[in-house]
Structure 1
């Protein structure tokens, strides 16, 4: 018997680049009992699937710590404190960035008198006019002042960087902090020796240059980049945080007729809750009294407020408009619609897109390769006779211009923003792989009932067999259908109630997929279903011509044919427009339904679908998806997520019409919360745009390093005489990851065309 696996998401601290992510992921995957481990640099968490009989959560935390980082068990208190902690960390980053850059500029000013030649330049003359006293200070005091300021700045602004680099070294790994620490540390050591023992350099024919300003400016630009990164990352998670804030912290509960305000955590299923106009619905439930309109836009993406009356469902987090309501709480916490949405979004944002694999492979070897390139650059410049000081500055530029951060953020940043934007539009993607597959599809296969139609058919006519009344026909049909959740069953039961038919108890009721139902009603074997159901029981229905677009339900008892009911479903608003939009995108549309060819043809003609496969059972739907795929088609299947689960799973991308009650059980790669056909097109367009942004980000991240490192190494020097100073290289490095995040944030403004 296979062990039951569990999933936990651990907050991880100390990660700063793609190399950090790779190290944590490797450490977790090598832990005994771990089945899967995915680490997200954007959200700073690790999602782990593990066998609790082998690996306890504490063992997972220890594995992260042994890799040189820290982790903790998730807790509501920690999650609540996270925004304040993030704000404090952001303020600290900004302060240290400003401090380091200010100190770096001060060092530059202090160093100008030391580098002034016989003929002062423009800047020297300007500074002499502003601060003539600076040029009267002896050289040695200026040098010692620069040494002291730089040492203090490194300790205050850069201590976190050096600490992380040291931890990584202790664990025999490397990351971006390693590059920065080595670059700034080497520059400071070189400058300190040049200051304290200039004779040593002069005796070896080396000019005792100092790079104090580069040290502080490198740290300043890095910290500035980190601060901008954190701000941008926070903006990418705005959608998730907005959903998390939808649930109120308290609710008005009616107990023994007395209204009491209680914390949301104390609400139990079955409690009666009162909601006043303008208040937010605290938890899911069913209305007991009152009527109103409710704004569900932040949850379902539906911009128009929907009317709600007794018996209707309420979704926690939506806003009540003008009427006072009383309702019974049904699901709370993680089981609520909002709770499930949050969990699905968090899981999706923690997932990896296949495109991330390239970045992961590069990141795993990036830092060691850069270290080797920096050493080779130093040796090459020495060999070319350019001098140790010159070679040293170029090697430092190589170290600090390299940026593994941009590669680590290229795909997750776009994925995170896209998943949040999709949720705002009422589309829940289940992960990066799902989104990437959807972007590449060329054929969309639709189920008919509940997808192109509303899934709320009505009985429009009844044709009882001779000797049978309409009431008798409806009574037996509704009695066996009353336990079914199929839309057609609801239509039969509703029509029976309208004619006053009394429902009889039914026993041994079973559903025959794609055909109908059978059961025992007062000792009689009753079957209700399509023509295939009748033929399977050797029953030959009367030849009754049905109206175009209707679905027929044949009824028989003890082998005797009783008659047929005809039902008509309503076409979903916007279905025809959605098919037209799909065609304009170059996508083929196919209808796949278990309904009769006549009913299917009528709907297909109304929406503009040419390819129709009708009268198929669930296994035949699966076979048709496979047939399309065998011809080279990349297929998306749109269905109700339950009856079409196998076809949705087989398709390259599955889009399930959300029931709004149990999202986690929906099959497929994405859930359409409103179930509108237009959402299918919106989901495909968003997926395509996200894929483009991912490619742009990866192209920029790889291209930046492929071009930036050689330029920093002096590739353009023979042609232009240009070399990058270490400070300029650090600025470029800081801006590279910011540019990737900024490009990803464009997806926040995605508008379906």
Structure 2
């Protein structure tokens, strides 16, 4: 839905033309300081032309200059209106998803008895039941169940995603569709405050977003405009003095001085400045990334350090059981049977994968334990174990535990058993491979190890290599032990890693990098990533992540693809390069316009008339016309952005000066000369 579209559309062109006329009103005109001076000059000339018509002092030159000054304003308004319109078109397509649906409200989790109500009547904290074929009626967190969900209306990707309780894949978005199984969802946002509504507001809010660099550039451009205004005003008495010295009554009409002023000030970049910033955010939307501010897009262009959370960002998010490694003297099927028994009540993805692996390798089916006297031992942070006790006649006949190496070692020590060196060695080997060893024990005997493996997302290594070429260091952050972290870091291709990381440690690393002058980006999806996302210069939250993470970041990746930062950085650099290129081009234009107008105003410096223009009148009018039409000619470049290719800042600056600086000088020479020839031909 948010994928790329053609640069121009007939409907959007028509609306933008209408908005261009609306923006001639003072409340819009004075939002851009430089163009406001053009608006004032045009207004003054308008009254002058009206006065001349009333007093029968009509001047074709005055009227022609007035028409082209009005067109200059309209072209500038069109550039901004069209950029805004493309963003609003994205928002309108999102609004079509915002429909009222029927919600199946339940009184408690796992209840199949529901009350059908409108989604607009739901309240935060309500529990709704959704099953295959249902639209999810609201933003929420999955509190029970697992299902595949079609989020193509949100992300544009056809592949369904898994949503389940627990972990960082529990967040669901209203308007998406359940394809299989069922979910119980706890409402986390009221109607009008959903993630979809916030995305619409972000896109529509792009109209007046201004970045610090854009504001600073605006001040520079206004300062140049002010200096040129003083220069033009100073030239008026100078020209009259020169005329008297030459024995001529030399008094140029006000239209000429206004034309000189408008042509010399940086109207081109001022007219396109807003469109450049808005189109940067809009280009991100085409890559399924929502930026909450223009500042975030701009900061992305200067990123040199990227921190990535491992789980759900570099890896798929869920560890999966891959192998059973039996202890000496223990049959592998016996280990699988015990591991499955201890995982039957484990609703985590890891626990479910152990049950599935047991079925696949040994055809061990889930047992109906309702007839038995069973006590489930839930996982706790204190023991770091879970398991099952099976009783007969009130006596425990089987006591199975699974957990980390340290926790199981302490457990069997307390029962008088011991951990064999062979098991420790195998656990270390598994950890060195980047997997997680989970030990299974029955009584005081260790039956073996279940290897849980993190699945690294495909294609990341190549993408991280591209980031490295762009001068960006990648740092993986994980709570895993150093051995596991090192193995996954090597497989993913990151430059560095932080193991056993806490939210505080993530914050410390970001602040350390920022204290060295680095611009830091953070990609994460969990609640524990939220502080780091908020602290970083660019915080990219995965759409599959928790609501807290999405609110903390200043960008949201709807595709939940960490390598998307390449596109984000490129668009940020495009924005900065485009602004710099058009600023260079605009200022360079003044050189050519100087050689067109100054000789027309001061005939005694005819040596400067390098273009050999037909007459002072055609020279002035040609410069004004060129000054106007160059704005719409550059709109496609402002919307698309300057093409970014990884290279050093020095070579990029040299290319910018050569292409847009030299081009900005030469292009007006040819353009003004061509227009002058056309005007002279028409007059003749």
- TM bucket normalised to smaller: 0.5 to 0.7
Match of 1:237?
87
Match of 2:240?
382
**Residues 280-318 of structure 1, C-alpha deviations (whole Å, 9 max, x = no match):** 98766899xxx999764452242x342789999874456
Match of 1:734?
628
* Mapped pair 1:427 → 2:289: yes
Query: Residue 445 of structure 1 contacts residue 590 of structure 1 at CA under 8 Å; is this kept in 2?
Result: yes
Q: Do the aligned partners of residues 618 and 191 (structure 1) sit closer, same or farther apart at CA in structure 2, a change above 3 Å counting? A: same
Cα distance in 1 for residues equivalent to 2:407 and 2:588 = 61
Structure 1 residue runs without a partner (length 5+): 1-82, 98-157, 196-207
Cα distance in 2 for residues equivalent to 1:730 and 1:471 = 85
Query: Residue 148 of structure 2 contacts residue 160 of structure 2 at CA under 8 Å; is this kept in 1?
Result: yes
Query: Residue 622 of structure 1 contacts residue 646 of structure 1 at CA under 8 Å; is this kept in 2?
Result: yes
- 1:653 to partner: Cα distance: 3.2
- 1:175 to partner: Cα distance: 4.3
Quick one: which of 160, 174, 180 aligns to 1:306?
160
**Residues 616-660 of structure 1, C-alpha deviations (whole Å, 9 max, x = no match):** 444334444445556665443333353233444444433333325
* Mapped pair 1:698 → 2:583: yes
- 1:271 to partner: Cα distance: 7.5
Cα distance in 2 for residues equivalent to 1:472 and 1:616 = 32
- 1:454 to partner: Cα distance: 0.3
Cα distance in 2 for residues equivalent to 1:409 and 1:528 = 64
**Residues 541-590 of structure 1, C-alpha deviations (whole Å, 9 max, x = no match):** 77252222212457999x99999764212121222232233234343333
Deviates more, 1:547-556 or 1:460-469: 460-469
Counterparts of 1:352-363 in structure 2 under 5 Å? 352-362=210-220
Q: Secondary structure at the match of 2:311?
A: helix
| Aligned length, in residue pairs | 567
Query: Residue 447 of structure 1 contacts residue 593 of structure 1 at CA under 8 Å; is this kept in 2?
Result: yes
- 1:355 to partner: Cα distance: 1.7
Quick one: which of 602, 621, 632 aligns to 2:487?
602
Counterparts of 1:401-550 in structure 2 under 5 Å? 401=263, 406-408=268-270, 410-460=272-322, 461=324, 504=376, 543-546=424-427, 547=430, 548-550=433-435
**Residues 467-499 of structure 1, C-alpha deviations (whole Å, 9 max, x = no match):** 9998888888998x87xx8x7687689999986
Cα distance in 2 for residues equivalent to 1:675 and 1:530 = 33
TM norm structure 2? 0.63
* Mapped pair 1:678 → 2:536: no
- 1:517 to partner: Cα distance: 5.8
Q: Do the aligned partners of residues 608 and 327 (structure 1) sit closer, same or farther apart at CA in structure 2, a change above 3 Å counting? A: closer
Q: Secondary structure at the match of 1:333?
A: coil
- 1:339 to partner: Cα distance: 1.9
TM norm structure 1? 0.58
Cα distance in 1 for residues equivalent to 2:296 and 2:193 = 23
- 1:746 to partner: Cα distance: 1.4
Q: Do the aligned partners of residues 713 and 750 (structure 1) sit closer, same or farther apart at CA in structure 2, a change above 3 Å counting? A: same
Q: Secondary structure at the match of 1:656?
A: strand
Cα distance in 2 for residues equivalent to 1:630 and 1:253 = 50
- 1:457 to partner: Cα distance: 0.8
Q: Secondary structure at the match of 1:599?
A: helix
Q: Do the aligned partners of residues 644 and 398 (structure 1) sit closer, same or farther apart at CA in structure 2, a change above 3 Å counting? A: same
**Residues 110-135 of structure 1, C-alpha deviations (whole Å, 9 max, x = no match):** xxxxxxxxxxxxxxxxxxxxxxxxxx
Structure 2 residue runs without a partner (length 5+): 1-9, 107-115, 360-364, 390-400, 647-684
Match of 1:398?
260
